[in-house]
Structure 1
Amino acid sequence: MKKKTGFTLIELLVVIAIIAVLIALLLPAVQQAREAARRTQCRNNLKQIALAMHNYHDVHNCFPAARLSSTPKYGQMVALLPYLEGGNLSRLFDVTAPGGFADPVNQKVANTPVSMIRCPSNPVPGLIKMRNSSSTGTSYGSFITSTGSTTDPNDPSIMTGWANDYWVNHGINSSSYTLAYSTGISPSPILKGTSPRMRDVTDGLSNTILVSEHAGYDVHYVRGVGMPMPATDLTLDQPGAWGTWLGWCAYMIQTYPVYTVDTYPTNLSNIPSGTGCTVNCNNSQGIFGFHAGGATVAMGDGSVRFLPESLSNVILMGMVTRDGGEVISE
Structure 2
Amino acid sequence: MNTSSRRGGFTLVELLVVIAIIGVLVGLLLPAVQAAREAARRMSCSNNFKQIGLGLHNYHSAYDQLPVHSGGTNPNIGNRHLLSFLVGLTPFIEQQAVWQMISNPRVVNHNGGTRGTPFPAMGPVPWDRNYTPWLTQIGTYRCPSDPSVAPANFEAFTNYAACIGDGIASNNHSCINQDGSINSGCMPRRGGMDRGVFVTRMPTKFRDILDGLSNTIASAEIVVDSNTLEVLSTVVNRGSDAAFFVDPTVCEDTIDPQRPQFHLAGTSANNWGSSQRKGMRWTDGRPVMTSVTTIMPPNRVSCSWAGDGSDGMFTAGSRHQGGCHVLMADGAVKFITESIESGNLSSPSPNWPTSNPAVPPGSASPYGLWGALGTKASKETDQLP
TM over 0.5: yes
Structure with the bigger percentage of strand = 1
Distance 1:105 1:123, change over 3 A: closer
Q: What is the match of residue 68 of structure 1?
A: 71
Q: What is the match of residue 328 of structure 1?
A: 383
Identify the match of residue 40 of structure 2 among 37, 41, 47: 37
Unaligned runs of 5+ in 1: 130-158, 176-184, 257-277
What is the rounded CA distance, in whole Å, between the counterparts of 1:200 and 1:208 in structure 2?
11
Q: Identity over the aligned pairs, expressed in percent?
A: 30
Give 2:91's aligned amino acid.
P
What is the rounded CA distance, in whole Å, between the counterparts of 1:162 and 1:112 in structure 2?
6
Q: 8 Å contact 2:167–2:195 — kept in the other structure? A: no
Q: What is the match of residue 166 of structure 1?
A: 160
Give 1:217's aligned amino acid.
D
Q: What is the match of residue 284 of structure 2?
A: 247
Q: What is the match of residue 90 of structure 2?
A: 81
User: Secondary structure at the residue paired with 2:195?
Assistant: coil
Q: What is the match of residue 310 of structure 2?
A: none
- Structure exhibiting the larger radius of gyration computed from Cα positions: 2
Q: 8 Å contact 2:159–2:279 — kept in the other structure? A: no
Mapping of residues 60-209 of structure 1, within 5 Å: 60-69=63-72, 71=75, 72=79, 73-93=82-102, 94=105, 96=121, 99-106=124-131, 108-125=132-149, 127=150, 160-173=154-167, 186=192, 188-192=195-199, 194-209=202-217
Q: What RMSD in Å do the two structures reach over aligned CA positions?
A: 2.9
Q: What is the match of residue 331 of structure 2?
A: 302
2:18 pairs with 1:15: yes
User: Secondary structure at the residue paired with 2:318?
Assistant: coil
Distance 1:296 1:201, change over 3 A: same
Identify the match of residue 48 of structure 1 among 44, 47, 51: 51
What is the rounded CA distance, in whole Å, between the counterparts of 1:92 and 1:11 in structure 2?
67
Q: What is the match of residue 222 of structure 1?
A: 231
By relative contact order (CA 8 Å, sep 6+), the higher-ranking structure is 1
Distance 1:241 1:5, change over 3 A: closer
TM-score, normalised by the number of residues in structure 1? 0.73
Distance 1:52 1:218, change over 3 A: same
Cα distance per residue 1:263-318 (max 9 Å; x no partner): xxxxxxxxxxxxxxx11113661011110011001100001100011101111100
Distance 1:206 1:97, change over 3 A: closer
Q: What is the match of residue 263 of structure 1?
A: none
TM-score, normalised by the number of residues in structure 2? 0.63
Residue 228 of structure 1 and its aligned partner are, at CA, apart by 7.7
Q: What is the match of residue 212 of structure 1?
A: 220
